[in-house]
Each structure stands twice: as C-alpha cells, then as structure tokens.
Amino acid sequence: MEKRDTRGIDLSVVIPLLNEEESLEELYRWLVSVLEKEGYTFEILFIDDGSTDGSWEIIRRLAEGDPRVRGFRFRRNYGKSQALHLGFKEARGETVITMDADLQDNPEEIPALVRMIREQGYDLVSCWKKVRRDPVLTKNLPSKIFNWAARRVSGISLHDFNCGLKAYRREVVKKIPMYGEMHRFIPFLAIQAGFDKIGEKPVKHMPRKYGRSKFGSDRFIKGVLDMITLWFLLRFSKRPMYLFGGLGLIMFLIGFLAIAVILGIKAYKLYRGIPTHLVTDRPWFYIALTALLAGIQFFLAGFLGELILQTDKRGGDYDVAEQTHPPSDQPD
C-alpha cells in the first residue's frame, strides 16, 4: 500500500459501515465540502464491516481518487465495536470524529464539535438527537428506555449514549478499549480510562434517505446484557470478592439453615419417639448440599478474581514530563 504523508492532520473522520453503497459517495462529497470550507487538514477512514453489496468497490474508487480517503475492510461482519477499534487504531488526526454512513448524521455539525474539543477542553463530546427521525415504537421509545437505564447504571448524565456522531481528543481513542458491543458505552469507557471531561451537544437528526437500519430487535437484548457487564465493571471490577464472596455467604447461610431444619426435625422426632426417615430421604438434605457447594464455587471465583488482580503488574496509564534534550556539560 502506498505510504501517505500524515503529518499535521487536524481531523480524522472514522465511518464504520455495513452495506451502505447508495450513500457513500454523497456522504463523501458532503464531508469534503464542509471540511474544506473550514480549512482543516483531514482524513476520512471508511471501515467496511463485511459488506456484501458494492460498498467496498466504491470505497476503493474514492481512495484511489483522493489521498485523504483511507479504506479498510473486514472479510466478514464483526460488529460496530470492532470497526471502531480499527478506525481508532488507524486515526492520525488530533481530533477524531465518528459518524454513521447512512446520512442521518449531519456533517455540518462537525466544526462545532471540533471547537468544543479544542477551545472548551473536552475529552469527548457526545451528540444528542433531540428530535429523532425514526419510528416511535420500534426505535424512539426503546432508545429512551435504554438511555434512561444507562444513565442510572453508569451515573453519566447523557441523553443519547448510542449516537454515532461523537468527537474525541486523539489521546482518548488510543486508550479506550473497544470490545464486544461496548460502543454503546464509550463515554463510560472513557471515564474508566481517566478521561472525565465529557460534553454533550444537541444535533439535527436527518431522516434516512437510503436503505434501512442494520440493527434488528436483537440489539435490545445485547444492550441489556452489555448493561449488566457495565454494572459489574462499575461496582466490582476492582474487588470481585465483594460480589462473589457475598453470593457465597448467602448460599452458605441457606445451606446452614437447611442443615438446621434437618437436625431440628430429626431431634424432635427422636425425642418424641416418632418414626423418622433417613436424612438422605429428605429434600432439605439436597438443598443444603447444593447451597454449600454453590457457596464454595462462589468463594473460589472471588479468590481467583482477586488473585488475577493482585498478579496484574501493568499498573494504570500515566503521562511523563521530562527534558527531551539533556543540557550540555559544555559552557556556551
């Protein structure tokens, strides 16, 4: 591949996409018009997440005609998080913009986002589609419920966690981990990585012009599961024993109560001379056994989690300030 000169790039626009051949050229022309008008030096990164239509051919043609366009393709669909991970890895600009390829994100919003990063000092700016151009029952209402739950779980006061249009300082995208379907919680991942100055900007949401949404009803199930992961990371990632040890104590308590019931009934019947069954014939015996074994398993999980944390020698991210060129011992 031809080596490109990437020095002095102001802006990287990362666009993950799947089967968007109808909108790509129009989006490219719109972006170039806005960015050139602002005088930015920029690059546009199209990340093709396993498209089966003609999207990749269009991206290749755009890249051949404009050195500011870079295209990357997965041979199969890996999901938006993996596409963003690749885009973040390859981005060279001082400010990074992410947006969807379906023309519902308006490129005219980009200059204001860049100013919020540069002039107001935000690490990340998340956009808010205040007036959505989507069906109410199938997208708007579930989105409102999801965002309400995400605010409660994460403690971050954003109206729209899942909006594709976001702006970042370059340092942020290089340090936040992207995996699974966690692109919905990028603001939380940024805070976990130490970037806590997060802003929000209401933006105009454009109606869909071509095709249809690539996200089906399964995205709500995935969202709930990812929110459980988020809840766990937020509360127990540093001390897993608090969770697993607590569950182990509960199971031990159930087991000991079951044992107490068994012994109490047995002692009462023996004292009264009432015929009694073997302990193993009573359901409480199996309840006690199962609860005690489960308690042991939970405790072991907690201990293993603590051992993994104790043996992790990586430490946190840190910055270094030092003299680039040591002073010379020779007098002037």
pLDDT per position as a tens digit, 69-86: 999 999 999 889 899 999
Q: How far is CA 94 from CA 40, 76, 272, 331, in A?
A: 11, 30, 84, 39
CA 272 vs. chain centroid, Å, equals 64
Question: Cβ distance 59 to 48 under 8 Å?
Answer: yes
Distance CA 77, CA 146 (A): 24
Find residue 98's DSSP bridge partners: 14, 166
Average the pLDDT over 44-67 and give the result. 95
pLDDT > 70? residue 316: no
- Specify the pTM: 0.71
Q: What is the mean pLDDT of residues 173-183?
A: 82
Say yes or no to pLDDT of 311 above 50: yes
Domain 11-236 indexed as CATH 3.90.550.10: yes
Highest mean pLDDT among 181-185, 193-197, 303-307: 193-197
Which band of pLDDT confidence, cut at 50, 70 and 90, is reported for residue 213?
low
CA-to-CA distance for 293 and 77, rounded, in angstroms?
41
On the question of pLDDT at 39 being above 70, the answer is yes
Structure confidence at residue 242 (pLDDT): 82
- State the pLDDT at residue 7: 54
Q: Say yes or no to pLDDT of 32 above 90.
A: yes
Least confident range of 56-65, 116-125, 204-213, 309-318: 309-318
Local confidence band at 332 (pLDDT 50, 70, 90 cut-offs): very low
- Compute the average pLDDT of residues 258-285: 82
Residue type, 331: P
Residue 15, pLDDT > 90, answer: yes
| Residue-by-residue DSSP string for 203-268 | EPBPPP-SS--S--THHHHHHHHHHHHHHHHHHHSS-HHHHHHHHHHHHHHHHHHHHHHHHHHHHH
- Could you tell me whether strands 42-49 and 95-98 are parallel, antiparallel, or unpaired per DSSP bridges? unpaired
**Long-range contacts: 24-27, Cβ < 8 Å, 24+?**
24/55, 24/58, 24/59, 24/62, 24/101, 25/58, 25/62, 26/103, 27/101, 27/103, 27/107
**What is the average pLDDT value for the chain, to the nearest integer?**
83
What is the percent of the chain where pLDDT is above 90? Answer: 42
Please say whether the dihedral angle defined by the alpha carbons of residues 166, 83, 317 and 230, taken in this order, is positive or negative.
positive
Residue 196: which of 181, 176, 182, 178 has the closest Cα?
Answer: 176
* Mean pLDDT of the 44-72 span: 95
The torsion angles phi and psi of 134, rounded to 5 degrees, stand at -125, 160
Question: What mean pLDDT comes out for the span 39-68?
Answer: 95
For the chain, how big is the Rg over CA atoms in Å? 28
Instruction: Name the more confident of 115 and 276.
Output: 115
Asked whether the predicted pLDDT for residue 286 surpasses 80, the reply is: yes
- Name the pLDDT band for 119 (thresholds 50, 70, 90): very high
- Please report the pLDDT score of residue 273 as a whole number: 82
288 has a pLDDT exceeding 80: yes
Dist. CA 54–CA 81, nearest whole Å: 22
Query: Inter-axis angle of helices 283-311 and 240-272, to 10 degrees?
Result: 160
pLDDT band per the 50, 70, 90 thresholds, residue 319: low
Distance of CA 64 to the CA centre of its chain: 32
- What's residue 2's pLDDT? 42
| Residue-level pLDDT at 6 | 45
pLDDT at residue number 218: 61
Mark 297-316 as b/e (b = at least 16 C-beta within 10 Å): ebbebbeebbeeeeeeeeee
Q: 208 pLDDT exceeds 90?
A: no
Confidence category of residue 172, pLDDT binned at 50, 70, 90:
very high
Q: How far apart are CA 110 and CA 173, in angstroms?
A: 17
